Amino acid sequence: MGQEVSINRDYQMQFMELLRNSVPAYVKLAEELSQLLNISADSAYRRIRCETDLSITETVAICQHFNIALDKILPVGNDAVTFRINRFDTHWNSFENYLDRLADDLEYITRFENGQVFYAAEDLPVFYNFYFPLLARFKMAYWMKSIQNVPELQGVKIEDVEVPEVWREKSRKIGELFIKLKSTDLWHDDTIKSVIRQISFYWEAGFFSNRETALAVVDELEQLIDMISKQAETGKKMVYSKGQFVNTDYVMYCSDLMIGNNCVVLKAGDKVSTYLGYNTFNFMTTASDVFNKQAEDWMQNLISKSTLISQVGEKARNQFFKSNFLQIAQLRAFIEQS
């Protein structure tokens, strides 16, 4: 077999400079690369000093680990942007990769002291579902049964869906990581409507075996909105199951403009990554500076035209959540009466 191609030395120097600026200050880069690439510390230092060439395989591994876009050092054109996506198939267990990606990316941003999340929510932010087990099971079943068309779930009632324990563990980890990050949520009046339509559709289609299960999911949806309302009132995130607030800032805006799509911007200082929703619940991400600047500007423009309802704007906040609770009450009445 021929020797693997390495990247150009000038590109490697640029790449190493970019790498140094992309990791938290406390990270010992040589140790990190040694473990990641399974090489000695001395070999890692030689690659950092550009005395030893990086192979293409090593470069890709580093980019994936540190969430660096290759087009930062190998430009492919001013209008071209590289995205990472999740690879889904119709196998039930492919959802585990989705959870791994969420956990890995959140864990990376929590390594920075000032990491934060900006979430423009066309529908309920995915992270909140994981705090409520029945709602989480419903959402996972809906995604895999109706969106991914997993064969094992066709004809299966919600009550009979067995969520793998490893999914529960990963969901708990995602929740623990997310609660550590300062969040700015941007919602509008229709943000909650997507999940309400999903529950309503599953009830009408007979995908619940009994009314009690459907109502229990509605109850947890109401608890989720109650949690968000309390976070908005206090400006702090909440461990709802314990009725306790944590010392993590929470900011919420209500937008009169339609958001159009789920968009998440993870930011730590000048480090920015953008996540765009597609195919209902999936997301693609890029570390492109140009794209991220556009996404950040778009987010800030929406925020500037929205109403701040966390800690201030009590009247607007009460009206917003009153509308949410009313929609949930109407869903509950529909299930109880049909």
Q: Are residue 181 and residue 278 in the same domain, yes or no?
A: yes
Identify the pLDDT of residue 78. 57
Q: Residue 55 sits in a domain of what CATH number?
A: 1.10.260
Burial classification of residue 53, based on how many CB atoms lie within 10 Å of its CB (0-12 exposed, 13-18 middle, 19 or more buried): middle
Q: Is residue 15 part of a domain?
A: yes
pLDDT tens digit string along 119-147? 999 999 999 999 999 999 999 999 888 88
Q: Are residue 268 and residue 219 in the same domain, yes or no?
A: yes
Identify the pLDDT of residue 206. 94
Under 8 Å between Cβ of 95 and 106:
no
Identify the pLDDT of residue 268. 83
Q: Are residue 40 and residue 136 in the same domain, yes or no?
A: no
Q: Is residue 1 part of a domain?
A: no
- Of 72, 94, 124, the position where a domain reaches its end is 72
Q: Are residue 207 and residue 291 in the same domain, yes or no?
A: yes
Q: Is residue 2 part of a domain?
A: no
Dist CA 8 CA 13 (whole Å) = 9
For residue 142, give the nearest of 88, 199, 99 by alpha carbon: 199
Identify the pLDDT of residue 1. 42
Q: Are residue 96 and residue 65 in the same domain, yes or no?
A: no
Q: Are residue 88 and residue 224 in the same domain, yes or no?
A: yes
Identify the pLDDT of residue 148. 83
Q: Is residue 233 part of a domain?
A: yes
Q: Is residue 225 part of a domain?
A: yes
Dist CA 261 CA 244 (whole Å) = 31
What tokens were used for 195? Answer: 């999940």
Q: Is residue 155 part of a domain?
A: yes
Under 8 Å between Cβ of 99 and 88:
no
- Of 18, 44, 72, the position where a domain reaches its end is 72
- Of 37, 52, 72, the position where a domain reaches its end is 72
Q: Are residue 151 and residue 109 in the same domain, yes or no?
A: yes
Distances (CA, A) of 60 to 36, 39, 72: 11, 16, 13
Distances (CA, A) of 53 to 5, 7, 36, 42: 9, 7, 16, 14
What's the alpha-carbon Rg for the chain, to the nearest Å? 22
Identify the pLDDT of residue 255. 92
Q: How many domains does the chain have?
A: 2
Residue 13: give the domain boundaries.
Answer: 9-72
Q: Are residue 299 and residue 170 in the same domain, yes or no?
A: yes
Q: Are residue 49 and residue 170 in the same domain, yes or no?
A: no
**Residues of the chain with confidence (pLDDT) below 50:** 1-2
Q: Are residue 21 and residue 44 in the same domain, yes or no?
A: yes
Q: Are residue 175 and residue 301 in the same domain, yes or no?
A: yes
Q: Are residue 129 and residue 228 in the same domain, yes or no?
A: yes
Identify the pLDDT of residue 94. 73
pTM here?
Answer: 0.79
Identify the pLDDT of residue 330. 97
Dist CA 262 CA 126 (whole Å) = 10
Identify the pLDDT of residue 4. 56
Q: Is residue 256 part of a domain?
A: yes
pLDDT tens digit string along 166-185? 989 999 999 999 999 999 99
Q: Is residue 210 part of a domain?
A: yes
